[in-house]
Amino acid sequence: MDLKTLKTFQMIVKYGSFVRAAEEMNYVQSTVTMQIQKLESDLGVQLIERGKKLQLTEAGRLFHEQSLQIIKNMEQLQSNLSDLQLGEAGNIRIGVTEPTASHRLPRIVARFMSEFPNIRISVEFANTPTISERLLKGELDFALCSAPDLGSELYFEPLFKKSS
């Protein structure tokens, strides 16, 4: 059973017709019929009583109810994965030292979140050696801190310099 077959079943129920469902999905009617026959065979139950008027069996009503949620969840998952791939959703783990955490970070995070509301940000406050260690372990994505010790595998880019 696949998502296309579930959607086909939902269209048949929505329109009360194999022909109408086929038209809506740009399928030939025989494709819709074969999908439903295979679905019923895979499930081992009849879902639709065929006749003058299409009616769902008790198994068909149960399948219809529960497959609605499955389709909704799958479509949401596809959307979420697309957002993640486009960089419009996900998680960012930031390590930060004081006073940057108190003075600079709130404005930066607020602006970022207004532009990317589906990205969750978690912030860890620590000293530079602790943050450097967590970065090396892959527990943080990036950090705002002072320069790590010489010889570190980390890339450091100064964002600002102290005024003398």
| Residue 56 placed within a domain | yes
Distance between CA atoms of residues 6 and 15, nearest Å: 14
Do 54 and 103 reside in the same domain of the chain? Answer: no
Total count of domains within the chain: 2
| Per-residue model confidence as pLDDT tens for the chain (164 residues) | 788 999 999 999 999 999 999 999 999 999 999 999 999 999 999 999 987 788 999 999 999 999 999 999 998 888 888 878 877 778 889 998 888 777 778 888 899 889 888 888 888 989 888 888 888 888 998 888 877 775 667 777 777 676 65
Tokens of 93: 């783990």
Q: Which domain CATH number covers 23?
A: 1.10.10.10
* Domain encompassing residue 62: 3-84
Question: How far apart, in whole angstroms, are the C-alpha atoms of residue 32 and residue 34?
Answer: 5
Task: State how far the alpha carbon of 150 is from the alpha carbons of 132, 145, 153, 155, 163, in Å.
Answer: 12, 14, 9, 11, 23
**Are both 70 and 11 inside the same structural domain?**
yes
In a domain, 110, yes or no: yes
CATH code for position 138: 3.40.190.10
Q: Is 20 helix (H, G, I), strand (E, B) or coil?
A: helix
